Amino acid sequence: MKRATLEVTAAVGYLAVAFGLAIARATPATTYEASVYTGTPAVVWLAFALALAIAVGTTLAASGRQQGFAIALGAMVVTSIVSLPVVRNYRFSGMGDALTHLGWTQDLVYGELLPHELFYPAVHSFGAVFHYLGGIPIERALLVTLLALFVPFLVFVPLIVRDMTGSATAVGLAAIVSWMVLPVNNIATHMGVHTNSNALFVVPAVIFAVVAYLRRRPTGDRLPLGLSPFSILIYLTSILLLLIHPQQMINVVVLVGVLAGVQLLARFRFDDHPIVDHPTTYTHAVVLGALFTLWAASNARFRDAVSGLVYGLLTEDIGASAEVDQRGASLAEIGGSLGELFVTMFLEAAIIGLIVGLFVLVTWLGWSSVTPETSAFVTYFGLALVPLGGIFLVYFVGTPTMAFRQVGFIYVILTILAGVALAQLLGGLSRAITVPGATAVLSLLLGVLLVLGLVTVYASPVIYNPSQHVTDQQLSGYESSFEYESGDHPHVGLGYDPFRFDHGLYGLEGEETLSGASAASGEVDHEAFEAGNYSGAYNDVDHYLIVTAFDVTREVDVYQELYYSQAGLEGLEYDPAVNKVISNDEFRLYAIDSDR
């Protein structure tokens, strides 16, 4: 394809992104949206699809500066999709850990908490900085922080592959795979204000620093103590990662430790090998391990997490198998299945994982055509997957949520290796058919995988998990309900404990009880609720019941009345023990008398 044609085509793609963003901005969310995908106008998705198709095609067809424009276009499309809650003026996104992080950020802003008092203060500190510098609400500042920490993933994955291979084809393919955002699995890693997930997107910056250190031979310009600029970069990016979330720092320590071990063994076995020529990472492994140990071992949250893991390993009824069985039974009751959910959520990840696994095996058998230098890096990362997989297995038995966080990190590594693997696959297809034919086949495959990956970046009813969109009316309702206090009544929810909203509204460093006045919070018993026993549905005590648009969507539309039915919700309006005290379009608060 001619240079002028490539540039005009890329320009059309950029205009499509700009058009899509303008339409999205002009149609803000005015009520709760169960899915950002269906809530966003279809014309926006058509514009993004056009731009992404152009990005994929030109990335594979171009080289040099034109390929750079194409990669930037694809990254812009994906970043635009990730930014939709900000562009479409969501008040906030996230009803679990995200609200607690919002509370900690409020504590930082209002002087109730100092950054060093948090185990992982980076996200909250960035949010506070954006709040002050941008003059924007704290909720929005955290959503902007999410975007700022996401972009390094799209930037550094292709840069890593460029240093590993020097192949424009591999770089372009790595960029395309990064657009699938494979580290997000919506089980334990999420596209939201979730520090563990946010840390995953910074990991490629650390890996780039390591690869750059290994690839760029030292020159005469050295820093004091014999340090190289790339060593300093490794330490700085690792400290940032540590402050975002230490769990992902553990994985980086393991990765660098494996690199050091491979280098040590190579020096015993080989006299002439690319690994022998690489500068050693022994010191880096020790320093990074010491940094993590000093930061984490003295923290109570870390000790509690380790204790929970050990307890899970020693307790038979805790583990992923029990959780999977429970989820499978629930899905079957509403007409779904684990197989269907796997295809929706993990098919593209499984295909990429299979391709990478076969590529690593072929490389180790000496059947691939990669250069010895590239083969060395494949060996580094391939062997690192062994202990990283071992950690996954430990988590899988002990704490299933941690296991899927580990999967997120593993897919950062697989995303990097996928660029090299797919380049080899393209070369093999080109020899079997033709170069244009092979490019067309691979483009089609990647296009399908991109759709599968991007359609599950955010939670939605497609994966039986409605959006955690927090609206103005929801926050206003929660705030009014916490302020409305009669006696010592707990606030309870339908399958959701309201204490997270207390965190988001008032922080965590004030009074320990819910909203500073109420004694408890929790969830109603769904069996008593469905039997019409509203007064006895929560420990037979007077309580406040909160029902939101999110609850109704989740329980009635998505879970198809598995736990709470529309009839049960309507019965609240007529029961003499129930009094509606606060109501708007998306929030209702009922005072329930246990004596009636």
Name the band, by pLDDT with cuts 50, 70 and 90, for residue 275.
very high
Mean pLDDT for 299-318 is 60
For residue 581, the SS3 value is strand
Once rounded to an integer, what is the mean pLDDT over residues 486-493?
80
One-letter amino acid for residue 524 of the chain? V
What are the beta bridge partners of residue 588?
Answer: 547, 583
Report the pLDDT value the prediction gives residue 518, as an integer from 0 to 100: 47
What is the average pLDDT across 160-166? Answer: 95
Secondary structure in 3-state letters for 351-416: HHHHHHHHHHHHHHCCCCCCCHHHHHHHHHHHHHHHHHHHHHHHHHHHCHHHHHHHHHHHHHHHHH
Q: Looking at this protein, which amino acid is placed at residue 347?
A: L
- Residue 530's nearest CA partner among 501, 566, 560 is 566
CA distances from 183 to 206, 328, 352, 412 (A): 16, 23, 12, 6
Helix axes 138-165, 400-432, angle to 10 degrees: 40
Query: Which among 128, 134, 93 is positioned nearest to 112, based on CA atoms?
Result: 128
> What are 340's two structure tokens?
């269907």
315/452 Cα distance (integer angstroms): 36
pLDDT digits (tens, 9 = 90+) for 557-591: 999 998 999 999 999 999 999 999 999 999 999 99
Please state the φ and ψ torsions of residue 277, each to the nearest 5 degrees: -80, -15
User: Residue 78: helix, strand or coil by DSSP?
Assistant: helix
Res. 544: pLDDT tops 80: yes
Name the β-bridge partners of 522: 492
Contacts of 560 (CB under 8 A, 6+ apart): 334, 335
Give me Rg for the CA atoms of the chain. 26
CA separation for the pair 17, 153 (Å, rounded): 20
246 close to 118: Cβ distance less than 8 angstroms: no
Q: What is the pLDDT of residue 395?
A: 87
91-135: pLDDT as tens digits: 999 988 999 999 999 999 999 999 988 989 999 999 999 999 999
Q: What is the pLDDT of residues 39-88, one digit of tens each?
A: 999 999 999 999 999 999 999 988 888 999 999 999 999 999 999 999 99
Would you call 219 exposed, middle or buried from its count of C-beta atoms within 10 A (0-12, 13-18, 19+)?
exposed
Q: What is the pLDDT of residue 477?
A: 94
- Note whether 9 and 50 are within 8 A (CB): no
Percent of the chain with pLDDT over 70: 90
580 three-state secondary structure: strand
Q: What is the pLDDT averaged over residues 236-254?
A: 95
pLDDT of 225 > 80? The answer is: no
Strand partners, 591: 544, 579
Stated pTM of the model: 0.94
Burial 328-364 (b: 16+ CB within 10 A, else e): eeebeeeebeeeebeebbbebbeebbebbeebbebbe
Q: Which residues of 286-313 are buried (b: 16+ CB within 10 A; e: fewer)?
A: ebbbebbeebbeeeeebeebeeebeebe
For residue 485, name the pLDDT band (cuts at 50, 70, 90): low
According to the model, what pLDDT value does residue 448 have?
95
Question: Comparing 224-233, 383-392, 471-480, which segment has the lowest mean pLDDT?
Answer: 224-233
pLDDT at 140: 97
User: How many other CB atoms are found less than 10 A from the CB of residue 137?
Assistant: 12
The mean per-residue pLDDT over the stretch 244-250 comes to: 94
Of 216, 211, 209, give the one whose Cα is nearest residue 240: 209
The token pair at 70 is 């194409």
